């Protein structure tokens, strides 16, 4: 039997129920075949729908290019995923263990037939295109960056203020598609003209042009967005250079899929130069440093990603995705009920995420934990958790030339703008056709209020605030103090408790006492420094709130090395006495890569 038959049989063994025929006549089939060898996910996207559908390949004929997907959908309007322009789907792979490379492939405008196989399961049948190249809206060639083709992108959103990094995924002489982190996409909006976008190719050559945002959408399931830019105000020399790069990209893509011909050879544009090799080496080292993460951590990261995707729809399309936002709340409640201590520990993985999303998920997580401990069947807990997830979303909605980033040290004028984040969210929601219920709105509007009237946005006092909003206020204040922001250093848990207690009548004392008794001076998920020079995440505590189980990640005597060792109470004394709770960013801890 030929080698390709053996590979087909291997895929059949690895993917039960997937019928695969071989020969590789279709170039798109060949690319998909390559991606299926690795951990992968596939999603079906439609512009008018609030979220992408996860899909599975049920059949792939590598010879004819016939392909079938199975999707599960409980709604009544799945036909909207098949627009007049055709089907859009993305494949995303993660290579290596731990992940050392991520690769993507997108196909759009594919005519497809929809078949219902049972009450919630559907099959999509279609024919893959005969070529990997398509035309853009102007009819010119659009080249996808496939099978490891890489180029970096830098998007200057506001002059000298905000520069967003990304990866070039498609290129034509009129436009390009750049993949950026979801959080960075919040600064962009459809129609926004940008001062410049720079494309850097592996050999060191580059291209610069002004641009306009044409379209933004979520991409894959790992926290990325696809941003489509039109090049504008091109000079004749820029256009000539751009034609050269598109031709070279076409040649490289043809080479990688195995096309033959006199002009089909590897393009020098994609041969890494010294600078690129150095950057690739550093990136590989950082990824290798990442310890294997527990499934609970992946679940928490997914909540953060989904929250950011929901915000993207709200900001760019004034569309409130009920399934996405309530799905985030339901995920948190499910994780707490599954294993509350593992969940509290997993919240620590968010420490290097954007402040608004880290704060929202951690506050919502602690609120869910406290309410469920009070009453496992708490009737308001779902709406309360949704409100806690949403209460900071007005901050990224306020980003503009006057407030170009939420990461910078803000001046007084910018701080004043940011104080309007509650009103901005409340203003935006009616445009989406959705309004929060009483409990959810209570949390959104009053989470920043204080009993003594010194809070915002309305300066409410005492009895004007519900018991729920008083609890959320305490959780929020503690979380805010425990993390550095606007040049204000982070406080230890004990320092945060003391500052809240000394704030007079600003906070509910009973809620503070409940919080301190529950989480103690060394909360699960905090980073502890021991006298022996070791740093360790607290995984569990004893009845007195002292660490009972820790994950040792670093010996400060050897700062360039990372370790991973879980030890229990009986062995903790071997690494010295607990000195204090510290901040990861100030302790040489490498952020996890997801």
- Give the pLDDT confidence score for residue 400 in this predicted structure: 86
Please say whether the dihedral angle defined by the alpha carbons of residues 160, 164, 166 and 172, taken in this order, is positive or negative: negative
| Cα separation, 183 vs 306, whole angstroms | 11
Element (H, E) at 184: helix 182-185
Q: CA-CA distances (angstroms) from residue 92 to 45, 146, 166?
A: 13, 11, 16
503: Cα separation from own chain's centroid: 36
- Give the pLDDT confidence score for residue 354 in this predicted structure: 86
Q: In a 3-state reduction of DSSP, which class is residue 142? A: strand
The pLDDT tens digits of the residues spanning 232-289 come to: 999 999 999 999 999 999 999 999 888 766 567 788 999 887 777 777 666 655 555 4
Strand partners, 237: none
- Residues of the chain below pLDDT 50: 1-24, 98, 289-291, 592-594
The pLDDT tens digits of the residues spanning 147-168 come to: 889 899 999 998 777 789 999 9
- Give the pLDDT confidence score for residue 282 in this predicted structure: 64
- Give the pLDDT confidence score for residue 288 in this predicted structure: 55
For 157, the token pair is: 């959103």
Nearest partner of 260 among 5, 6, 7, 27, judged by Cα: 27
Q: Whole-model pTM?
A: 0.82
| Cα separation, 198 vs 218, whole angstroms | 22
Whether 89 and 124 have beta carbons less than 8 Å apart is answered as no
Q: Chain-wide mean pLDDT for the chain?
A: 86
- Give the pLDDT confidence score for residue 560 in this predicted structure: 74
The pLDDT tens digits of the residues spanning 207-237 come to: 999 999 999 988 877 788 999 999 999 999 9
CA atoms within 13 A on the CB side of 588: 16
- Give the pLDDT confidence score for residue 12 in this predicted structure: 36
- Give the pLDDT confidence score for residue 64 in this predicted structure: 85
């Amino acid at each position: 039997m030929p080698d390709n038959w053996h590979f087909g049989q291997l895929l059949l063994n690895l993917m039960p129920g997937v019928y695969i025929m071989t020969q590789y006549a279709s170039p798109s089939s060949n690319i998909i075949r390559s991606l299926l060898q690795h951990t992968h996910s596939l999603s079906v996207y439609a512009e008018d729908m609030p979220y992408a559908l996860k899909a599975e390949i049920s059949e792939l004929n590598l010879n004819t290019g016939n392909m079938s997907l199975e999707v599960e959908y409980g709604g009544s309007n799945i036909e909207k995923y098949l627009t007049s322009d055709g089907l859009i789907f993305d494949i995303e792979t993660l290579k290596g263990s731990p992940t050392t490379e991520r690769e993507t492939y997108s196909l759009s405008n594919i005519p497809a037939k929809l078949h219902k196989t049972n009450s919630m399961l559907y099959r999509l049948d279609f024919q893959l295109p005969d070529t990997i190249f398509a035309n853009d809206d102007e009819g010119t060639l659009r080249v996808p960056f496939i099978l490891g083709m890489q180029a970096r992108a830098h998007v200057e959103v506001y002059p000298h203020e905000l520069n967003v990094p990304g990866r070039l995924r498609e290129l034509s002489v009129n436009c390009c598609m750049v993949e950026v982190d979801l959080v960075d996409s919040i600064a962009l909006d459809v129609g926004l003209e940008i001062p410049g976008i720079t494309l850097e190719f592996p050999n060191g050559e580059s291209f610069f042009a002004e641009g306009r945002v044409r379209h933004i959408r979520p991409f894959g399931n790992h926290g990325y967005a696809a941003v489509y830019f039109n090049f504008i105000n091109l000079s004749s020399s820029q256009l000539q250079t751009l034609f050269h790069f598109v031709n070279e990209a076409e040649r490289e893509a043809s080479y990688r899929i195995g096309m033959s011909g006199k002009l089909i050879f590897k393009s020098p544009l994609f041969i890494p130069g010294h600078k690129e090799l150095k950057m690739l080496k550093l990136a590989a080292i950082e990824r290798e440093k990442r310890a294997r993460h527990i499934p609970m951590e992946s679940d928490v990261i997914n909540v953060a990603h989904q929250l950011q995707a929901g915000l993207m729809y709200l900001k760019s399309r004034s569309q409130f995705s009920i399934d996405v936002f309530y799905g985030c709340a339901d995920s948190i409640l499910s994780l707490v009920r599954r294993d509350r201590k593992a969940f509290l520990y997993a919240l620590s993985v968010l420490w290097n995420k954007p402040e608004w999303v880290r704060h929202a998920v951690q506050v919502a997580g602690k609120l869910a934990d406290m309410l469920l401990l009070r009453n496992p069947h708490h009737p308001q807990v779902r709406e309360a958790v949704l409100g806690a997830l949403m209460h900071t979303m007005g901050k990224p909605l306020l980003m503009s030339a006057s407030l170009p980033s939420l990461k910078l040290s803000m001046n007084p004028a910018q701080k004043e703008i940011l104080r309007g984040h509650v009103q901005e969210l409340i203003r935006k929601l009616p445009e989406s056709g959705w309004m929060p219920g009483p409990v959810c709105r209570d949390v959104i509007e009053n989470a920043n209020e204080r009993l003594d009237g010194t809070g915002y946005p309305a300066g409410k006092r005492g009895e004007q605030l519900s018991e729920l909003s008083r609890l959320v206020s305490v959780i929020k204040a503690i979380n805010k103090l425990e993390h550095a922001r606007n040049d204000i250093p982070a406080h230890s848990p004990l320092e945060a408790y003391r500052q809240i207690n000394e704030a007079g009548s600003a906070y509910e004392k009973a809620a503070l006492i409940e919080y301190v008794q529950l989480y103690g001076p060394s909360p699960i998920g905090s980073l502890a420094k021991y006298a022996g020079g070791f740093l360790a995440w607290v995984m569990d505590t004893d009845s007195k709130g002292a660490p009972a189980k820790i994950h040792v990640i670093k010996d400060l005597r050897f700062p360039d090395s990372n370790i991973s060792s879980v030890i229990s109470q009986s062995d903790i004394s071997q690494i010295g006495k607990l000195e204090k709770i510290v901040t990861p960013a100030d302790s040489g801890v490498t952020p996890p890569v997801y």
